[in-house]
Amino acid sequence: MDAKNIHLRDQPAYSLTEAARYLKLPVATLRSWVVGRAYPRGESVATFRPLLKPARKQPPLLSFYNLIEAHVLRSLRTEHGVAIRELRRAIAYAERTLKIERLLLNRDLRTHAGEVFLEEYGKLINLSTSGQIAMRRLLEEHLKRVEWDQWQFPVRLYPYVSAEPTTERPIAIDPDIAFGRPVVIRAGVSTEAIAGRIDAGETVEALAEDYDLKPEEIEEAVLYERAA
C-alpha cells in the first residue's frame, strides 16, 4: 500500500469556498456539513453537529478524502434535500452495524453498505420505497464518478462540470496532478489555466491545438470554471 499517497489524500488542501466551487455546492451547505449550523427551536437556538470531520478545523480546510465524502452527500442533497440530523444518524448506524470506518469513503456503498445506509435514512425521514429507489440510482451515479485503487481507497474524482449531472467525465481532481486542482484529465492541464487564457483573449481553437485537446474539452474546462 502506498502510504505516502494515502497520507497526501488526507492532508488539508481546500478551503470551504474552493471545495464548494469544485463540487458545485452552495458554500453554506458545505459549511453546515463541516462546521454545523445553528437553527431556531421554539424560543431557543439549537445546533446541528457537523457530518464531516475536516482535515483541519481552524480554519476549516478539507482534504481530498473530504471532497469525496461531500461529493457522496451531494447525491442525497441534489434531489431530496439534506436532513443533517437524520443523515448523521443513518451514517452512524451503518458504520456501527457494518463496522466500516468513514462509510462515505468506502466503495462498499455501491453494495450492501449502501443498502443499509439508505434503508436507515429512508426510515428516519419516512421516505417511500420509490423514493429510496430514486436515491439509490442517484447515489450510484455519483459513485461512478469516483475512482478507487486496488486497496479500495478513493484516488480520483470526476466532478460534474455544471450543477446539472451528466455522464461526461472530462475533468478530474487527483491529488497527484496539479496539486489536487481540477484538470482536463487527458492533458493534465488545470481548468483554471485554460479559463485564464480564454479570458486573456486566446481562442478555443488555439488552446485546443496548444494542449492537443478537442475544442469541446476546452469549452468544458471553461464551463466548469465559470459554472455557478
**Domain harbouring 166, CATH code:** 1.10.10
Measure the CA–CA gap between 92 and 102, rounded to whole angstroms: 9
153 in Cβ contact with 15 (< 8 Å): no
The string of pLDDT tens digits covering residues 92-142 is 999 999 999 899 999 999 899 999 999 998 888 888 888 878 888 888 989
Using the 3D structure, point to which of 120, 153, 186 is the last residue of a domain: 153
Task: Report yes or no on whether pTM surpasses 0.85.
Answer: yes
35 and 61 co-located in one domain: yes
123 and 193 co-located in one domain: no
Phi then psi dihedrals of residue 182, to 5 deg = -60, 135
46 and 122 co-located in one domain: yes
Among 93, 139, 89, CA closest to 114: 139
80 and 16 co-located in one domain: yes
Q: Which pLDDT does position 216 carry in this prediction? A: 95
Provide CB contacts within 8 A for 84, sequence distance 6+.
32, 33, 37, 48, 51
107 and 36 co-located in one domain: yes
Among 122, 116, 118, CA closest to 139: 118
Q: Is 198 helix (H, G, I), strand (E, B) or coil?
A: helix
Q: Which pLDDT does position 20 carry in this prediction? A: 95
Cell of 160: 460534474
Say whether pLDDT at 30 is over 80: yes
